[in-house]
Amino acid sequence: MDYKNILEKLPYSSPFLFVDELLKVNEKSAEGIYNFPVDSFFYKGHFKNNPVTPGVILTECMAQIGVVCLGIFLLQNEKNDLNDIKLALSSSEVEFYLPVYPGETVKVISEKLFYRFNKLKCEVRMYDKEEKLICRGKIAGMIKNESE
Amino acid sequence: MKEKDILDAIKKIVTPYTQRKEGLENFSKETDFIKDLEVNSANLVDVILDVEDKFDIEIDNDSMEGMLTVGDAKNIIERKLASA
């Protein structure tokens, strides 16, 4: 499977792309990594003189790897031509356990709960280098290929 | 299953996803999920999945697209139950 193909379809760019590499994507799950660069824009203000990755950014990273990349894979599976992917986050319920500091690399693992009528809902977890749980939760989004 | 029972079940299912609670007061077959209850499209999927579980039926894409009102949902449920 060519994961580059999925990464190229991601509708994000710097400074709001939070996927470096996909390790595994299949019908049921996705796995990927991201390194938070020390000079990321949010560290300047979160917090003052004490840079920590904001929870919303961790959630975004989990959504991009766990829901959007998996969603693109599933769309590709049912239709080969993806011209114009439309996305919307519909819900997130995330609990946080450990902080992520500038320069850290995280791994996101996502398992599909369901994918019906353009809605993809996943159970997503994020781990640090020592495989310790950073955060986990359920994230859902609507995803479709507009040319349909 | 009686029509009233089906409508009551739909009402119970849709209640937690309803933004406009006044819409529940005169809940009827004409009630529109999106216009009257302000259910968003993502939660409409949840409503359908809950309907599938409750009635032990499977709703396909075509049926889903025709499910605008409570009456539409009731008709689809009745049709699926009859063919089960």
The CATH number covering residue A116 comes to 3.10.129.10
In chain A, the N- to C-terminal Cα span, in Å, equals: 24
What's the pLDDT score for residue A65? 98
Taken in order B45, B49, B51, B56, the sign of the CA dihedral is positive
Question: Tokens representing B62?
Answer: 């075509």
- When CB atoms are compared, the residue of B42, B49, B64 closest to A91 is B42
Q: Tell me if B55 sits within 8 A of B80, measured CB to CB.
A: yes
> Please, what is the Cα angle at B76 between B9 and A28, to 5 degrees?
85
Shortest Cα distance, chain A CAs vs residue B65, angstroms: 9
- pTM score, whole prediction: 0.92
When pLDDT is cut at 50, 70 and 90, the band that residue B79 belongs to is very high
Question: Domain residues for A16?
Answer: 3-145
Listed residue (A85, A83, A93) closest to A124, CA to CA: A93
The backbone region for A116, taken as left when phi is positive above 0, alpha when psi lies in -120 to 50, beta otherwise, is beta
- CA A73/CA A106 separation, integer angstroms: 21
The secondary element (H helix, E strand) that includes residue A109 is: strand A105-116
B16 touches A: beta carbon within 8 Å: no
What's the pLDDT score for residue A77? 86
pLDDT above 90 (res A132): yes
Our count of domains for chain A comes to 1
What's the pLDDT score for residue A78? 82
* Interval B25-54 mean pLDDT: 96
* Interval B61-66 mean pLDDT: 89
Shortest Cα distance, chain B CAs vs residue A14, angstroms: 28
Q: List CB contacts (< 8 A) between B46 and chain A.
A: 119
B45 touches A: beta carbon within 8 Å: yes
The backbone region for B56, taken as left when phi is positive above 0, alpha when psi lies in -120 to 50, beta otherwise, is left
- The tens digit of pLDDT for each residue in A18-46 reads 999 999 999 999 999 999 999 999 999 99
pLDDT above 60 (res A69): yes
Shortest Cα distance, chain A CAs vs residue B45, angstroms: 7
* Interval A87-103 mean pLDDT: 97
Q: Tell me if A110 sits within 8 A of A65, measured CB to CB.
A: yes
- Catalytic residue IDs of A: 46
Residue type, A58: L
ipTM of the complex: 0.89
CB contact under 8 A, A90 and B42: yes
| Among chain B residues, CA nearest to A140 | B42
What's the pLDDT score for residue A2? 65
Question: Tokens representing A73?
Answer: 């894979």
What's the pLDDT score for residue A74? 94
Distance of CA A42 to the CA centre of its chain: 18
Q: What is the DSSP letter of B32?
A: B
When pLDDT is cut at 50, 70 and 90, the band that residue A80 belongs to is low
- The tens digit of pLDDT for each residue in A40-64 reads 999 999 999 999 999 999 999 999 9
Which domains, ranges and CATH numbers included, belong to chain B? 3-83 (1.10.1200.10)
